[in-house]
A and B are shown apart, each in its own frame.
Chain A
Amino acid sequence: MSFQDLVFYFFATVLVISALGVITSRNPVYSALLLVLSFVTCAGLWLLLEAEFLAITLVLVYVGAVMVLFLFVVMMLDINLDRLREGFWKWFPFGALLALILVTQMAMVLMGGEFGLNEMPRPPAQAADYSNTKALGLLIYTEYVYAFELAAVILLVAMVAAIALTLRHRADKRSPNPAKQVAVNREDRIRIVPMASEKKD
């Protein structure tokens, strides 16, 4: 067993345990935090696969931004476990189907020899000065530029839709205008009145 294997098994163990914890933990905050842990260990695994750009982006986007907002929401929720369990049997067939698909996929990976995994050779290890980031950037902006732009537009539409759905114009609302407040001058607000000092009796 080499050093790299040791690192792999460490990350893999932590990933499996934390991913199990996400679905078994009763406290939703713990679930969210364990999900963060599994993202970080997953990034570690990707680093071992020489995908450093994707690994760091995973940490930057999912851990640094998405999960922060998730945690933000989860911490403010008043979770009632009984209400959460209500729809369990109604949704059970759907969940079971998903689980079945997952198990099949896992089986296909684990028994890769039977499904012709050997025909796909292992990619050769890259030199130390090979830039993953540059390679990805070249692909995204040349070969896959339409797919990339399409994804960007879909995200933009989703963003605009989310804002449009929650934006309400209320007539009775009063809101300050910070731009105006910041631009205020001293002369507009105060008046200095010259006064002779009082005489001491």
Chain B
Amino acid sequence: MVYIQQLFEQFFGTEWGPMLFVLTKDLTLIVAIVVPLLLGVAYLTFAERKIIAYMQIRVGPNRVTFFGIPWLRGWGQPIADAVKAMMKEIVVPSGANKFLFILAPILTIAPALAAWAVVPFSPDVVLADINAGLLYILAMTSMGIYGVIIAGWASNSKYAFLGAMRSAAQVVSYELAMGFALVCVLMMSASLNLGDIVNGQQGGSLLNWYFIPLFPMFLVYFISGVAETNRAPFDVAEGESEIVAGFHVDYSGMAFTVFFLAEYANMILVATLTSLLFLGGWLPPIDVAPFNMIPGFIWLLLKIAFMLFFFLWFRATFPRYRYDQIMRLGWKVFIPLTLVWIFLLGAIMQLPLSIRNMYPLNLWF
């Protein structure tokens, strides 16, 4: 790495060399994050179809394979879907605002990918190790809503517009509950840096992870995450049975696929954050011989996969919420619950040290 930096300095001079080196290094790292992420998204769609199929006693995609290998049947499906989407025409409705119509999917995917900049994958593997990491993620995820609103408005269609309005109200409501749930995590870890939050959960076993003292917050955060990504049972923004497909009714081909990619990238992001904040990130469940020999990255991947399974399970299990029920859950159940928990947590943190050192409080405080 030092050698490459020197090469840059020789080539571009001492003033521009280091800057261009950092730029090149970051761009390489960004590609190293985004490419596996998009592959993960592709195979998450496959996993979703397969898992939901088995839950409904069907088989799911079982035709497309690589080089005719029989035991890989179905595994080529995401690739085939991607190629099909790229070949399709992007139809722009005649009354639509063409510029915003094309801009909307880009505005949806950009924050979904940008949020990954501060996500740590192992103790030292992180693109931008910034102090305000969690705040940055909240800011990025809250920007994802613009794509949906603009898509709904630019399509010049009533169904799309209704979908956009529903989505805007829903996301803004659940962001509050999500933020308050995260405040509890911040109080426990006393840091906004994601790496420090995971390190705060260290201590021998899974009993130290934050999902035990913050169990209601864990549920609130994850359910709000499902609502933020507009997934079933909170998918009123799409609502096939009422408003056709919501905000992306008029999108086709790659423009539609980009919305799709953003939704799945956001799902993976919520699952990753839940694993990092509540399930101890890369820490092994028990810090003894066979478990702590597995690299932390594998543990993180397993936890992400575990949380992602819930997204798919929810979709196969629950009927869609009615709009007023969604609002009630967000405002009248989650927000009071989080406020009570913040108060409780604050009270426990003010207890004298001798009480906080007693079991089980000494595991977390």
Contact = CB atoms under 8 A, between A and B. Distances in A.
A53 to B, nearest CB: 6
A179 B145 CA distance: 28
B175 A65 contact: yes
Given A52-B132, A59-B139, A60-B138, A176 B324 contact: yes
B286 interface: no
Interface string A58-87: 011001110011011001100000000000
A185 interface: no
Given A29-B153, A53-B132, A68 B324 contact: no
Contacts of A179: 328, 332
Contacts of A133: 131-132, 135, 192
B27 interface: no
Contacts of A29: 100, 153
Task: Classify chain B: how many residues form its interface, as a range.
Answer: 20 to 34
Contact of B168 (A2, A33, A68, A131): A68
A14 interface: no
Given A33-B150, A133-B192, A63 B131 contact: no
Contact of A71 (B132, B138, B149, B332): B149
B146 interface: yes
A145 B139 CA distance: 26
A48 interface: no
Contact of B145 (A60, A68, A75): A68
B325 A52 contact: no
A141 to B, nearest CB: 13
Contacts, number: 76
Contacts of B150: 33
Nearest to A6: B19
Contacts of B324: 176, 178
A22 interface: no
B139 A75 contact: no
B165 interface: yes
A64 B143 contact: yes
A132 interface: yes
Prevailing SS type, chain B contact patch? helix
A75 B149 contact: yes
A60 B165 contact: no
A63 B139 contact: yes
A56 B136 contact: yes
Interface residues of A, number: 29
A53 B134 CA distance: 11
Nearest to B131: A131
Interface string B297-334: 00000000000000000000000001011001000100
A29 B104 CA distance: 13
Contact of B143 (A63, A69, A72, A181): A63
A178 B149 contact: no
A80 B17 CA distance: 55
B80 interface: no
A33 B136 CA distance: 21
A59 B328 contact: no
Interface string A3-18: 1000000000000000
Given A33-B150, A75-B164, A133-B135, 14 more contacts: A2-B19, A29-B153, A56-B136, A56-B139, A59-B143, A63-B142, A64-B145, A64-B175, A72-B149, A131-B131, A133-B132, A176-B324, A179-B328, A182-B325
22 contacts: A29-B153, A33-B100, A53-B132, A56-B136, A57-B135, A59-B143, A60-B138, A63-B143, A64-B138, A64-B142, A64-B175, A65-B172, A68-B146, A68-B149, A69-B168, A72-B149, A72-B168, A129-B131, A132-B131, A133-B131, A133-B132, A179-B328
Interface of B: 15-16, 19, 100, 130-132, 135-136, 138-139, 142-143, 145-146, 149-150, 153, 161, 164-165, 168-169, 171-172, 175, 192, 322, 324-325, 328, 332
